[in-house]
Structure 1
Amino acid sequence: MLIRVEIPIDAPGIDALLRHAFNGNGEADLVKDLREDGLLTLGLVATDDEGQVVGYVAFSPVAVEGEELQWVGLAPLAVEEAYRGQGLAKKLVYEGLDSLNEFGYAAVVALGQPEMYHRFGFVPAARFGLRSTWPDTEAAFQIYPLAEDALNGVSGLVEYHEHFNREF
């Protein structure tokens, strides 16, 4: 198993993984559009021994109250069904967090299953007065500060790129 930064040749494998993992086109189309618009801050793939994409995580810029603060949003995260339960999602997320920290990013937000993201070290964003644009997501909206001062004086609405506002 190899985890590395995605390269152009991975795009079809990422697309197939996302369509299969999410039972539809929404996440695959989202990643394609983010990639085409240069809005993927970081994309990591996990490949098997044959080089097939079996896991993927993407990070893209977010703003807080319209201000760019070197924050990114984690989405989507997917692991091929045969590889689930082996810690691959955790490895992808941690590799992404480590890389983003090295690149000087301040925080990562995620909207997803609280139990899963808590295992990765994320905490409820509402604790810090942060909220997402989507209603009724307080429990699912999580944050992972990378910089010690990432949350100093920061609160309000965290906005993802408009590509995230499509129907999935």
Structure 2
Amino acid sequence: MLIRTEIGVDAASIDSLLRRSFPTSAEAELVQQLREDGLLTLGIVATDDEGQVLGYAAFSPVTLNGEDKQWVGLAPLVVDESVRDQPLDKQLIYEGLDTLNEFGYAAVVVVGDPDYYGRYGFEPAARHQLRCRWQGGEAAFQVYKLADDAFSGVEGQIDFAAPFNRQ
């Protein structure tokens, strides 16, 4: 299995993975829209020996109180059912975090299971007076600090890129 940054030829395989892994086409359409709008900050893929995408993590820009603070959101994260016994999700997340750190991004946010993402170092966003627009998402809204000063003097509303509002 090869873990790497996505390239153009991966788009169709990523789309196929998203469509077969989720109950609706919403995630596939989201990634397609992010890509078309130039809002896909980073995509990490796990490919087999034939180049088939079996895992994917997408990162796109978010704003804090309407300002770009060099933060990104992680969504979607998916691993093909045939390889869920392998730690691909962990590899995708860590490769993404390492790459974003190298590029100078300050923080990553995610909406998801706190127990799951907590294993990878994410913590409740509310701890830093940060919130997102989704009601009832307080416990699921989490952050990961890449820069030492990422949470210094910040609080408020995190907004994901516009295509997320179409969900």
Q: TM-score with structure 1 length normalisation?
A: 0.97
In the alignment, what sits opposite 1:41? 41
Cα deviation for residue 33 of structure 1 reads 0.4
Bigger Cα displacement from structure 2, 19-28 vs 57-66: 19-28
In the alignment, what sits opposite 1:131? 131
Aligned equivalents of 1:138, 1:102: Cα separation in 2:
29
Give deviations 1:68-92, integer Å, cap 9, x for gaps: 1000000000000011131100100
In the alignment, what sits opposite 1:103? 103
Amino acid at match of 1:86: Q
Amino acid at match of 2:67: E
% identical equivalent positions: 63
Amino acid at match of 2:28: A
Cα deviation for residue 3 of structure 1 reads 0.7
Q: Give structure 1 regions of 4+ aligned residues with deviation exceeding 3 angstroms.
A: none
Amino acid at match of 1:78: V
Unaligned runs of 5+ in 2: none
- Number of residues of Structure 1 aligned to a counterpart in Structure 2: 167
In the alignment, what sits opposite 2:25? 25
Q: TM-score with structure 2 length normalisation?
A: 0.98
In the alignment, what sits opposite 2:113? 113
In the alignment, what sits opposite 2:70? 70
In the alignment, what sits opposite 1:160? 160
Residue 99 of structure 1: SS of its match in structure 2?
A: helix
- CA RMSD of superposed structures (Å): 0.7
